Amino acid sequence: MFRRKLRLLQSIWTFCRRNQQSRQQIRKIFTKQFLPSASRWLLLPGAVVSMRGFTFGMRPSEKEPEATSASKSPEEKIIEQADELFDKSDTLALYDYLIQYKDSSNDELLWRLARAATDKGKLLKDPAKKDYYYEAFKYAKMALEKNPNNFACHKWYAILLDYTGEYEGTKQRIANAYEVKEHFLKAVELNPKDATSVHSLGYWCFLFADLPWYQQKIASVIFTTPPTSTYEEALKFFLEAERIDPGFYSMNTMMLGKTYVRLKENARAIYHLKKVKSFPVKTVDDEKAHKEAAELLRGLGVHDHD
């Protein structure tokens, strides 16, 4: 009896496997007709059951891929190649590759181009650095206009609104503060598992917790209720980012140490600042994290040989 049911279900699955709507019906049939026999099914040699993918008798490597190379669109292939270059930290090649698509209407391409232009700018000195930041901001704005529901578009818009604000003076940068935070919050809302968005919120909080008194005065002139934060709030975001993706970013580890320094929790500060040394220096941010961590450790009386 069970084997007849099994053959029936396999026939139904073969017929319907390419019809997404039919999969829901299959699950209902399985639940109603086959669930009582599930324990025996699981004992069959070589059987594989996945209630999510619902595949039968197939090893994981044999499951139908979500998208084969032949089925990918040209833009998906471009994005795949861009991500490979990004993972290799090949900043210049990545920018040169993506710049040819600067007139694209694809938000995924545009925010990646914004990131690439930003990273290239970090390699340069002003005025070239400034030019690339403003160029990157243009692409970030285009990406956000194309798709306001893409978390990465909000993240890179916020980053570049702040970066360009630095060139427009302290008053303008502070004036941008609420909008910057609003877009970081939206990025986290759209994708709470993106560690860099959470880190960016922590960095925003740290900046305003660490704001010099004269900049606080400027903020109080611009806003009835000026932006403020605390080191404790910044720490919460840095820790959450680390929980989401441990060791994902040298700057997050450095900022954990720096925040603990401000909170006068020196043992914890030293622990995180020493961890920065374990990150290979692949990017400008890595270099900055290493340098600042070493300076903070020296300030705590810890030297390289300690």
pLDDT by residue for the chain (306 residues), tens only, comes to 444 544 444 544 444 444 444 444 434 433 444 334 333 323 323 333 332 232 333 333 333 344 555 688 999 999 999 999 999 999 999 999 999 999 999 999 999 999 999 999 999 999 999 999 999 999 999 999 999 999 999 999 999 999 999 999 988 999 999 999 999 999 999 999 999 999 999 999 999 999 998 888 888 888 888 899 999 999 999 999 999 999 999 999 999 999 999 999 999 999 999 999 999 999 999 999 999 999 999 999 998 656
Residue 69 pLDDT: 58
Look up residue 88 and give its two tokens.
């290799």
Burial class (CB in 10 A: 0-12, 13-18, 19+), 266: middle
Residue 71 pLDDT: 80
Q: Is the separation of the CB atoms in 162 and 153 below 8 Å?
A: no
Neighbours of 51 (CB within 10 A): 8
Look up residue 112 and give its two tokens.
């990646």
Residue type, 270: I
Distance in angstroms (rounded) separating the CA atoms of residues 258 and 268:
10
Look up residue 172 and give its two tokens.
């303008």
Domains of the chain (ranges, CATH numbers): 2-60 (no CATH), 76-167 (1.25.40.10), 168-241 (1.25.40), 249-306 (no CATH)
Residue 223 pLDDT: 87
The 10 Å CB-count burial string (b at 16+, else e) for 145-180 is ebbeebbbbbbbbbbbbbbbbeeeeeeebbbbbeeb
Alpha helices (H) in the chain, listed in sequence order:
2-16, 20-29, 38-43, 74-87, 91-98, 107-122, 128-146, 151-167, 170-175, 177-190, 195-209, 213-222, 231-244, 250-262, 266-275, 284-299
Residue 72 pLDDT: 86
Opening angle at CA 231, ends 225 and 235, nearest 5:
125
